[in-house]
Structure 1
Amino acid sequence: MSGPVRLDDVRMSPFLRRITIFSSGGPFLEGYVLGIIGVALVKMTPELGIDEHWTGLIGVASIIGLFVGASFGGLLTDHIGRRKMFVLDLITIIVLSIACSIVQEPWQLFVLRLIIGATIGADYPIATSMIAEFTPRRYRAISMGFIAAVWYVGANVAYLVGYFLLDAPNGWRWMLASSVVPCVIILLGRMSIPESPRWLYSKGRTEEANRIVRHVYGADVVLDDETVEKTKIAKIFQWVYFRRILFVGVIWLCQAIPMFAIYTYGPRIIGAFGLGEGKAALIGELVIGTFFMLGTIPAMFLAESWGRRPLVIWTFVIMTAALAVLGVVPDATLWVVIACFAIYALASGGPGNLQWLYPNELFPTDVRATAMGLAMAVSRIGTVITTYVLPDYLASHGIGSTMLVGAAISALGLVVSVAWAPETKGLPLSETGRPDFTGR
């Protein structure tokens, strides 16, 4: 008769799939919030008298908030648990979204978007830690890939909503209020998700952890690969862990800067290539967003069959080449522009998936959420600056130069991946989170 099964080796179940789906609500909301503001700015700019300065600030507000929320949300999550903020952050976003729809001045919208970003940023460490700690290792890459896909689903849904509301009376106000709908759906789905048993076990609350393991996985499943550790923020500044944070933060940064620019100012970028304005630009943005989403699907399976390290390296090679072509030939034909954007978007699924997977595999449970938050914060430093300066840079230097800068950023991600990317395929969290793990 076989003995008990370790949590890392169990089969996937409908309940575990539900945890993945509703924990992914934060990334969906980020994609939606960033996407919808790009559309809303088209109509709100003349109505609120928004100049280039305020356009940059409003575009970057939620990203600044993401930096703040991720920085502190992860630390708080490791101290008090994964579940307690699961509900409060969604209620906060509902209230703030309604407030956004009634603003009268640009500064009011900036402040509200800043707070919404902070709330979503705090949700990231919670959600990704929950998925990583509940999901068996065989399905971890697919589950984290689902998070990346959901981000793009959120952005695409935002563009669809924006398309239908663009010419409606007070359409931009309805756009900003519309995030209430997904918030309510996600909130209802999260109500029955329990605390992470790995986190409980790491805090010495073994009986609670075992009770949840029995409830979720069954009586023949054990959780015996965790150590009891007190969360100490100083731990992640040890060089072995700090270098991992820098690695994840940089590849996240180099994938996110061009992608955030495309989503935040997508209609302007599409227009700069001469591919139309207004609803025509939104359709073009929706098509590109669909390629971003589709790119996450092969990356889910390649991360397991091919490996994490070759996936991140070769996708950065392709992304760099695609943006370089757009930079060298800014007046290319319609099909060349679409092809390059599509190739970039499809390849982006590699680092796009791994930026969620790597930080949850490379750190132990007691600091996993803190590390995830800090890695995300590192990535958002660059995106904050870039998103703010992009409107002026695009106007002053043109689309060709803008695309070449994007290619250079992707090339940096390639260099860092070659130097530091580890291989974690098929390994348990208890091994990949060890300080002596090298992945080579």
Structure 2
Amino acid sequence: MESRISWRWLFGLLVLPAVLIVFYRRYIPETPRYLLSKGKIDEANRVLSILASGRLKHKNLVVTPYLTKDDQTELKREKVKLGEIFKGKLGRRTVAVGIAEWMTVGAQITLRVLMPTILVEQGYSIAKSLTFAMVMNFGDLGALAASVFGYYVRRRVVLTVGSIFACGAGLAFGLFSNSVVLILVLGAIFQFFVLLLNTTIWQYAPELYPTRVLAFWDLPLHFLELLEF
């Protein structure tokens, strides 16, 4: 009985990091634009000062008066329609980012879900195939690398270079993965660059849209992802 439910504990442990958001959100400041629209000028200046300091937690914060009441009067609330992100310049950006996200998510899902099946087809046992797939997941460090590169490198450079290396790693895995070492190394490298691309796109996409429509930009991307299934 214990062996039949042991896998459930694994999924239960994977939920624990999600619980941390309850505590982490206490350190995430509110959007300055939202605070400004509510007339909270002092709080908006405090948030801007926090962001300018580069640290969410700090002592003896010096608040700089970036905003005044005049800025509030210039902020107009505009009604946003979902169709806007499918028209004109925003429409072109939605299609481009959607296709890129669809490709990277597809590659990521392929590696995570189908990799054990691919390895079994190559003659490895189910146990070894799952173990290999787990080791390849060390390539998830690509998400961390995307966060670091986001501070120092332009998004387009990361996406261009990352795409080249991801394609190269994918081809190398298909052509030269004739040993355990190459399977693990090339698989992890491919996973690294796929996660690098995927995370960078999620950083880059919001920057392509005006602030007033940011709440809508991810809807078409999720729709495109669902089309894969």
Question: Please, what TM-score do these two structures have when normalized by structure 2?
Answer: 0.75
Aligned: 1:272 with 2:121? yes
Contact 1:257 1:382 in 2 (8 A): no
Tell me how far 1:182 sits from its aligned partner: 3.1
Q: 1:187 aligns with which of 22, 25, 29?
A: 22
Q: Give percent identity, aligned residues only.
A: 21
Task: Name the CA shift for 1:276/1:210 in 2 (closer, same or farther; >3 Å).
Answer: farther
Gaps of 5+ in 1: 1-166, 386-440
* 3-state secondary structure, aligned to 2:126: coil
Partners in 1 of 2:218 and 2:41 — Cα distance? Answer: 22
Work out which structure has the larger RCO, using CA pairs closer than 8 Å and 6 or more positions apart in sequence: 1
Partners in 2 of 1:184 and 1:306 — Cα distance? Answer: 32
Contact 1:255 1:351 in 2 (8 A): yes
Which residue matches 1:240? 89
Which residue matches 1:249? 98
Give 1 or 2 for the bigger CA radius of gyration: 2
Contact 1:296 1:349 in 2 (8 A): yes
Mapping 1:25-424, distance limit 5 Å: 168-190=3-25, 193=28, 195-201=30-36, 204-205=37-38, 207-208=39-40, 210-214=42-46, 217=50, 218-223=62-67, 227-233=75-81, 234-278=83-127, 280-293=128-141, 295-328=142-175, 332-378=178-224, 380-383=225-228, 385=229
The number of aligned residues is 212
Partners in 2 of 1:306 and 1:363 — Cα distance? Answer: 20
* 3-state secondary structure, aligned to 2:133: helix
Contact 2:86 2:94 in 1 (8 A): no
Tell me how far 1:240 sits from its aligned partner: 0.5
Tell me how far 1:347 sits from its aligned partner: 2.2
Contact 1:319 1:348 in 2 (8 A): yes
The runs of 4+ residues in structure 1 deviating greater than 6 Å are none
Partners in 1 of 2:184 and 2:14 — Cα distance? Answer: 29
Contact 1:199 1:366 in 2 (8 A): no
Partners in 2 of 1:312 and 1:374 — Cα distance? Answer: 20
Gaps of 5+ in 2: 51-61
> Can you list the C-alpha shifts for 1:214-270, whole angstroms capped at 9, x where unaligned?
267353142569943424123323221111111211111111112112223443334
Which residue matches 1:70? none
Partners in 2 of 1:231 and 1:247 — Cα distance? Answer: 25
Tell me how far 1:344 sits from its aligned partner: 1.3
Task: Name the CA shift for 1:363/1:229 in 2 (closer, same or farther; >3 Å).
Answer: farther
Tell me how far 1:332 sits from its aligned partner: 2.0
Tell me how far 1:322 sits from its aligned partner: 2.2
Task: Name the CA shift for 1:345/1:174 in 2 (closer, same or farther; >3 Å).
Answer: closer
Partners in 1 of 2:12 and 2:155 — Cα distance? Answer: 39
> What's the C-alpha RMSD, in Å, of the aligned pairs?
3.1
* 3-state secondary structure, aligned to 2:178: coil
Contact 1:252 1:376 in 2 (8 A): no
Partners in 2 of 1:349 and 1:173 — Cα distance? Answer: 26
Tell me how far 1:317 sits from its aligned partner: 1.7
Partners in 2 of 1:353 and 1:180 — Cα distance? Answer: 20
Which amino acid is the alignment partner of residue 118 of structure 2?
I
Task: Name the CA shift for 1:211/1:340 in 2 (closer, same or farther; >3 Å).
Answer: same
Task: Name the CA shift for 1:353/1:283 in 2 (closer, same or farther; >3 Å).
Answer: same
